[in-house]
Structure 1
Amino acid sequence: MSKIASGTALITGASTGIGATYARKLAAAGHDLILVARDAQRLAALASEISAAHGVKAEVLKADLTDRAELAAVEQRLKDDAAISVLVNNAGMAVAGTFLEVDIDKVETMVSLNVVSVLRLAHAAAKAFVARKAGTIINVASVLALAPEMFSGPYSGTKAFVLNLTISLQRELADKGVTVQAVLPGATRTEIWERGGTDINSLPAEMLMEVDEMVEAALTGLELGEAITIPPLPDFAEFEAATAARLKLAPNLSRKDAAARYKAGKKAA
């Protein structure tokens, strides 16, 4: 894992699913761990398992990242602990249902977790890593950042935020010794579905990736130097073409005159 800075990895949402799988794989590569989630019992069991299997130090840091005081404690740990060289910004949640039907308070909690915590932890890590001229930030987004038509707008919007933040950070930190990667999983077999109110068994088997395969692909993408890794995408050139088409818009997105189509047929006053 040459692209990952050596040292301790702090992983959010580490009690299960993608976060727990990152923990196991990074521990196998020799990283000490700080495991962050709300479920202290599950974290403790995972920490014991990992320490026994790989001989690394695995610390539990219980925190609800939607609670500003508990989020601030994790931020402070990132700022103060010089051993931390990797942030896996993975914690997230989904809320099923149409916009008109959904519990808007749950959506606000989702925005707090998927956006605010990712933003603040990335900021804390970036400042600490830049000061040391070394570090790796992995932000877990979703393919729905690219396809809002496929799921609820609020959820895909939170993941679009993570993707845009990551792209901006990559440009800002490129010459400062810090690697930043966005990971865009497709549908992955984790507990997020049930927690969000969706029956995972309702998904077509051919579109559901096992979590171990997803994380292994994400780490391989990091080794390959990918700024954005989309594990299920067969031909990465398709994403590159979409990016090129988006960038082609740039010169025409801000001009002093409105486009001609908005003036066509306009009568003189």
Structure 2
Amino acid sequence: MTTITNIVTFQKKGNRMTKPAILITGASSGIGATYADRFARRGHDLVLVARDAARMETLAVRLRAEAGVSIDILPADLTRTDEIAAVESRLRDDERIGILVNNAGAGLGGRFVDQSTDAIGQLITLNATSVARLASAIAPRLVARGDGAIINIGSVVGLAPEFGMSVYGATKAFVLFLSQGLAHELSQRGVYVQAVLPAATRTELWERAGADETSLPPMMDVNDLVDAALVGFDKREGITIPPLHDSSLWSAFDTARMAMLPGFGATQPAERYTP
């Protein structure tokens, strides 16, 4: 198995070599906080981004003591233009940052017809727009130096409209497509892009979305989820789906998609659409 030391750059700092720093969004709890823990224990300095500065500082104090890494706190609401701009500037200007973990996201309870237009807009801003903006902020610098990584946290819901989470699923389908597109564009320039597609994972997202905890099904533990995602990261997988035991199903899905591509160049409608 390829180890992380083979796929991330070591930068010189004084007379020693250091691993690149990692900026993680949604880092105050759940998946983001677990990524922070794991990467800190691998020896990476961190920049933690979320709205809750107090919780991030509590996490940072523990990880500084346990892992001996440097951790910066950058409070930001990624749905606010002025606040995401500060995160974008950090990604553009901080040469230490070599990996972005685009994890921040939220859910939205209820049916589409019952969700407010403003709530839908805000969800799209957080789950999709901020992911693209932050990737856009760091990608040119990573390409210029010829290495680095972008990890985008999507969801299996982005593959399953049958789950009835229309807007949330649409944002996660965007994350998957963006990740695949960026992988095609950036991989030849030395930048690795990974999309992680969790299924239901035990985090605070469900409570924030208004779900009744007593009615929730069994879920994957967040530690198991992130550890599995990092195995995929170390293998340099483009798409990592921790709950999918039969990987041939994804291969078949992708093969079927690729088989359609030649037909998209047809200049006449398919026969079944002929009047």
TM-score relative to the length of structure 1: 0.95
CA distance in 2, matches of 1:250, 1:235: 25
CA shift, 1:103, in A, is 2.0
Judge conservation of contact 2:47–2:73 (CA < 8 Å) in 1.
yes
**3-state SS in 2 of match to 1:186:** coil
Is 1:135 matched up with 2:144?
Answer: no
Tell me the equivalent position of 1:124.
137
CA shift, 1:231, in A, is 0.3
CA shift, 1:4, in A, is 4.0
Name stretches of at least 5 consecutive residues in structure 1 with no aligned partner: none
Tell me the equivalent position of 1:87.
100
CA shift, 1:236, in A, is 0.9
CA shift, 1:153, in A, is 1.0
CA distance in 2, matches of 1:162, 1:43: 25
Alpha-carbon displacement from aligned partner over 1:174-211 (angstroms, at most 9, x marks no partner): 11111110000000000001101112432222xx1000
**3-state SS in 1 of match to 2:101:** strand
Is 1:75 matched up with 2:75?
Answer: no
Query: Which of 235, 242, 265 is 1:231 aligned to?
Result: 242
Query: Which of 237, 256, 273 is 1:262 aligned to?
Result: 273
CA distance in 2, matches of 1:94, 1:219: 24
CA distance in 1, matches of 2:145, 2:165: 40
Tell me the equivalent position of 1:178.
191
CA distance in 2, matches of 1:184, 1:136: 17
CA shift, 1:262, in A, is 1.8
Alignment of 1:1-269 (within 5 A): 1-2=4-5, 3-5=7-9, 6-205=19-218, 208-263=219-274, 266=275
User: Which amino acid counterpart does residue 185 of structure 1 have in structure 2?
Assistant: P
Give the RMSD, CA atoms, in angstroms: 1.1
User: Which amino acid counterpart does residue 98 of structure 1 have in structure 2?
Assistant: R
Judge conservation of contact 2:155–2:199 (CA < 8 Å) in 1.
yes
TM-score relative to the length of structure 2: 0.93
Judge conservation of contact 1:189–1:200 (CA < 8 Å) in 2.
no
User: Which amino acid counterpart does residue 196 of structure 1 have in structure 2?
Assistant: A
Q: % of aligned pairs identical?
A: 50
CA distance in 1, matches of 2:198, 2:192: 19
Name stretches of at least 5 consecutive residues in structure 2 with no aligned partner: 10-18
**3-state SS in 2 of match to 1:11:** strand
CA shift, 1:247, in A, is 1.1
CA shift, 1:64, in A, is 0.4
CA distance in 1, matches of 2:187, 2:253: 22
CA shift, 1:151, in A, is 3.1
Report the CA distance shift for 1:97/1:254 in structure 2 as closer, same or farther (over 3 A).
Answer: farther
